[in-house]
């Protein structure tokens, strides 16, 4: 590279400029938040009511899928509440967050630790941030064949749900290892008990109501609980995969080369869905704005993202979504070479090297720039 190309990039200065540009959007509205909660809870209850009275298996399955979508909407509400941005009241945020997380069976305290204290603080630093963190070729080759098959399954269209259910929900949120348990362990155990109690009560209620209305209690529970949970996990796995996995995204395994500002700006993707889908997802794909300033609530993220992209037009990665793009990311982003800053296939072939801007940034950090 020539001298001009390798000039150090002051990502922190850019980060601060973007954050200042978005500052007007960092305002919470309790009235707006409560209105969104009311709509999402109503959708969830209507789908549940329809499921327990449905006369056909096809209708129950369809309503189970709808319940999964409604659970995802409520989870997004809980996500904002957990960040303290959903309403102007900290106490109300805590209450709303715990309630909104129940349909996805998510303990509020462990999510707050895993998401706020780990993922946001160490985005794309593999030694800390484990969400869709890629393996190296050597690590993959050292796995037994059955575990290699699991890794291949995870990074496929069918694998998003299993990945989230096993690697995130089970291992990190419900039954975390000793080192991953939130510091407020008593509160975490209470939140986990709340989730387990809700799941049991909900399954019992669906069974009883379906039987009362002359339906099929077992199929109602399977669709209203099991299918709903599978749909939710698949949606969540898909969304978080796309937030930080892309052929132009860089991962790190060396904290000396990683920088917080770069992680929030350059290693987070703004995936552009069709407007109705983006609205349905509560704007969660405007992800750069969210990472730069978690105080911005979902109902102001679109405006904030526009401000961020105007302030850092060259650095923020914007990708229009399509099935073809998703398949491209799955084919390209399988393993990672941290020395070359390159994505690899499972066979070890380089599929995508870090783009010039990010490569320059990595070089400037490596040299102390």
CA distance 286 to 26: 14
Residue 269's SS3 state is strand
For residue 6, what pLDDT is reported?
36
Q: Does residue 112 lie in a domain region?
A: yes
Over the chain (369 residues), the average pLDDT of each successive run of 10 is 38 80 92 97 96 94 97 96 96 96 96 92 92 97 98 98 97 86 84 97 96 90 97 96 93 86 80 87 90 93 90 79 95 95 96 58 33
For residue 243, what pLDDT is reported?
93
Paired sense of beta strands 269-272 and 317-320, if any: parallel
- Number of other CB atoms surrounding residue 275 within 10 Å: 9
CA distance 74 to 64: 15
- 8 A C-beta contact, residue 280 and residue 36: no
CA distance 355 to 360: 9
Residue 343 β-bridge partners: 336, 352
Residue 65 CB contacts under 8 Å (≥ 6 apart), including other chains: 227, 228, 231
CA distance 334 to 343: 7
Q: Does residue 1 lie in a domain region?
A: no
Give how far Cα 327 sits from Cα of 22, 38, 111, 330, Å.
33, 36, 29, 5
For residue 7, what pLDDT is reported?
37
CA distance 127 to 275: 36
For residue 354, what pLDDT is reported?
64
Q: Does residue 71 lie in a domain region?
A: yes
Q: Does residue 226 lie in a domain region?
A: yes
- 8 A C-beta contact, residue 26 and residue 86: no
- Number of other CB atoms surrounding residue 171 within 10 Å: 14
Q: Does residue 41 lie in a domain region?
A: yes
pTM for the model stands at 0.89
Residue 270 β-bridge partners: 318
CA distance 195 to 328: 37
Q: Does residue 5 lie in a domain region?
A: no
Q: What is the number of structural domains in the chain? A: 1
CA distance 198 to 210: 18
Looking up tokens 């979504």 gives 321
Buried/exposed code over 2-38 (b: 16+ C-beta within 10 A; e: otherwise): eeeeeeebebeebbeebbebbeebbebeeebbeebbe
Query: Per this entry, what is the length of the chain?
Result: 369
CA distance 326 to 267: 17
- Structure tokens that stand for 210 in this block: 């379906």
Q: Is residue 261 left, alpha or beta, with left meaning phi > 0 and alpha meaning psi from -120 to 50?
A: alpha
CA 85 to chain CA centroid, nearest Å: 17
Residue 159's SS3 state is coil
Burial (Cβ within 10 Å: 0-12, 13-18, ≥19) of residue 144: exposed
Residue 317 — φ and ψ, nearest 5°?
Answer: -85, 120
DSSP assignments along 303-352, one per residue:
HHHHHHHHHTTTTSEEEE--HHHHHHHHHH-SEEETTTTEEE-TTS-EEE
- Choose among 269, 272, 262: nearest CA to 245: 269
Domain span at 326? 11-366
Q: Does residue 32 lie in a domain region?
A: yes
Q: Does residue 88 lie in a domain region?
A: yes
């Amino acid at each position: 590279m020539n001298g001009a190309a390798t000039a150090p990039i002051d990502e922190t200065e850019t980060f601060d400029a973007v954050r200042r540009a978005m500052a007007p959007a960092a305002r919470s509205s309790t009235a707006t938040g409560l209105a969104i909660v009311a709509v999402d809870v109503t959708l969830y209850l209507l789908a549940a009511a329809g499921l327990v009275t449905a006369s056909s298996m096809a209708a129950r399955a369809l309503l189970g899928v709808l319940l999964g979508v409604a659970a995802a909407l409520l989870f997004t509400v809980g996500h904002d509440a957990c960040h303290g941005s959903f309403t102007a009241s900290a106490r109300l945020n805590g209450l709303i967050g715990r309630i909104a997380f129940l349909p996805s069976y998510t303990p509020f305290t462990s999510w707050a630790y895993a998401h706020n204290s780990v993922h946001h603080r160490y985005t794309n630093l593999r030694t800390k941030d484990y969400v869709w963190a890629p393996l190296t070729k050597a690590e993959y080759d050292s796995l037994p064949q059955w575990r290699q098959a699991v890794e291949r399954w995870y990074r496929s269209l069918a694998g998003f749900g299993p990945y989230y259910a096993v690697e995130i929900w089970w291992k990190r949120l419900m039954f975390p290892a000793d080192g991953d348990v939130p510091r407020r362990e008593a509160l975490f155990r209470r939140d986990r008990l709340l989730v387990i109690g809700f799941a049991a009560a909900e399954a019992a209620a669906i069974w009883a109501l379906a039987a009362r209305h002359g339906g099929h209690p077992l199929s109602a529970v399977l669709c209203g609980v099991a299918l709903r949970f599978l749909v939710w996990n698949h949606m969540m796995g898909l969304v978080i995969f796309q937030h930080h996995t892309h052929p132009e995204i860089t991962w790190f395994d060396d904290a000396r080369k990683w920088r917080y500002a770069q992680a929030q700006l350059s290693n987070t993707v703004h995936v552009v869905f069709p407007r109705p889908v983006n609205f349905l997802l509560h704007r969660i794909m405007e992800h750069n704005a969210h990472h730069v300033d978690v105080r911005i609530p979902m109902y102001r993220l679109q405006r904030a993202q526009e401000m961020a992209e105007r302030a850092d037009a060259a650095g923020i990665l914007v990708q229009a979504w399509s099935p073809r793009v998703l398949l491209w990311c799955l084919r390209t982003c399988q393993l990672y070479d941290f020395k070359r800053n390159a994505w690899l296939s499972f066979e070890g072939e380089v599929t995508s090297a870090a783009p010039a801007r990010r490569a320059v940034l990595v070089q400037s950090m490596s040299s102390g720039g």
